[in-house]
């Protein structure tokens, strides 16, 4: 597996990042550890989680995913060969919502404890906090980097304007800068990233790790009509894509997969990995069979016809 440089961070990551949002939620601990084992066996080294995962589940308080991952890291002795990314900033029980100095520092300490590590490789601002000055947020992240508790920082759910403003603050102050952006980007959700963010990331050499890479499951091949999503964990996210454009994308995805002897999910991820600005595509699985299908995207090279067919179907 060829690793890709993550911005100017000095980190090199797998083109497929294993999403940990399911750990301790739709994948119990045993299943989660099996997924992590398979991912590592196949050469993967980039794992994404967040402090808030999975606080939305009844009876959960957040931190469940980090704790599951931390126990795997400790049991398997894999710490030195994987890059662990986690986040702070969304509404976390006991910590609140925001990117103040206190929230960032406390959030980091809590995540370090749950992950059972001494350093977070990539620490994201999970979402922008317009109420807290960027100077305060970046200074807090910078202290963590200088103290050796964080290797690099990233931003998730930032607009191009706010990302550029943050990069300017770091340049002026000398504080650590955002080395990675995590945007919602996939064949169904293109405009938000392609309109301005992609150019900023390429110009400023900011890595990109996409989330919702399979459009909440819409692009996995499981669904051919809206009714197929009924009762699923992310039914709402899937059903909103069943439009005329969404059907065109599904048709193109299945046609390409059939022609190349592949699977729709594999093709959808391969398309993302082929985009110039994208460093890694984040995707989660609840079985090793699903994970293998996702990892196959790394070796799938889409030809010009496939890229055009998928690009034309998803345009607009």
- In terms of residues, how long is the chain? 316
Instruction: Please report how many Cα atoms fall inside a 13 Å half-sphere around the Cα of residue 158, on the Cβ side.
Output: 32
Both tokens assigned to 3: 């690793």
This prediction's pTM: 0.95
Residue 87 has what pLDDT?
98
Residue 227 has what pLDDT?
60
Q: Among 133-137, 240-244, 248-252, which stretch is predicted with the lowest mean pLDDT?
A: 240-244
Residue 235 has what pLDDT?
58
Q: Which helix (H) or strand (E) holds 139?
A: helix 134-146
| CB-based contact 286:32 (threshold 8 Å) | no
- Find all residues with CB under 8 Å of 198, minimum gap 6, and list them: 208, 275, 276, 277
Q: State the CB neighbour count (10 A cutoff) for residue 80.
A: 6
Cross-strand partners of 124: 87, 154
Q: Is 53 a catalytic residue?
A: yes
Cross-strand partners of 4: 13
- Give Cα separations from 245 to 210, 218, 234, 249 (angstroms): 21, 13, 20, 6
Residue 119 has what pLDDT?
98
Q: Is the predicted pLDDT of residue 179 greater than 60, yes or no?
A: yes
- Give Cα separations from 303 to 141, 194, 219, 271 (angstroms): 41, 21, 19, 10
Across the chain, mean pLDDT equals 95
Residue 149 has what pLDDT?
98
Domains along the chain with CATH numbers? 4-314 (3.20.20.100)
Q: Which of 39, 53, 178, 185 is catalytic?
A: 53
Tokens 């990042």 — which residue?
17
Cα gap 268→15, rounded to integer Å: 13
- Find all residues with CB under 8 Å of 106, minimum gap 6, and list them: 95
Q: State the CB neighbour count (10 A cutoff) for residue 244.
A: 7
Residue 228 has what pLDDT?
60
Q: What digits encode the pLDDT tens for the residues 263-294?
A: 999 999 999 999 999 999 999 999 999 999 99
Q: What's phi and psi for 222, nearest 5 deg?
A: -75, -25
| CB-based contact 295:40 (threshold 8 Å) | no
């Amino acid at each position: 597996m060829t690793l890709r440089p993550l911005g100017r961070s000095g980190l090199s990551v797998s083109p497929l990042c294993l999403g940990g949002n399911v750990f301790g939620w739709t994948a119990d601990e045993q299943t989660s550890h099996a997924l992590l084992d398979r991912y590592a066996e196949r050469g993967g080294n980039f794992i994404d989680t967040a402090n808030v995962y999975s606080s939305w589940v009844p009876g959960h308080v957040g931190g469940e995913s980090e704790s599951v991952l931390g126990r795997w890291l400790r049991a398997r002795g894999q710490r030195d060969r994987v890059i662990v990314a986690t986040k702070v900033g969304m509404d976390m029980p006991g910590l609140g919502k925001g990117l103040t100095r206190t929230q960032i520092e406390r959030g980091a300490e809590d995540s370090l404890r749950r992950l059972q590590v001494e350093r977070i490789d990539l620490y994201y601002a999970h979402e922008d906090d317009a109420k807290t000055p960027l100077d305060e947020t970046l200074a807090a992240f910078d202290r963590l980097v200088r103290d050796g508790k964080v290797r690099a920082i990233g931003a998730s759910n930032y607009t191009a304007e706010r990302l550029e403003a943050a990069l300017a603050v770091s340049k002026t102050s000398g504080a650590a800068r955002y080395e990675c952006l995590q945007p919602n980007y996939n064949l169904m959700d293109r405009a938000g990233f392609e309109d301005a963010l992609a150019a900023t990331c390429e110009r400023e050499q900011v890595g990109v790790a996409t989330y919702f890479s399979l459009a909440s499951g819409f692009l996995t091949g499981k669904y051919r009509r809206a009714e197929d999503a009924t009762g699923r964990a992310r039914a709402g996210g899937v059903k909103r894509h069943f439009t005329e454009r969404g059907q065109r994308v599904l048709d193109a995805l299945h046609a390409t997969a059939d022609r190349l002897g592949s699977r729709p999910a594999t093709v959808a991820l391969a398309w993302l990995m082929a985009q110039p600005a994208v460093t890694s595509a984040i995707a989660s699985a609840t079985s090793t069979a699903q994970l293998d299908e996702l990892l196959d995207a790394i070796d799938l090279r889409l030809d010009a016809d496939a890229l055009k067919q998928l690009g034309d179907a998803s345009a607009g």
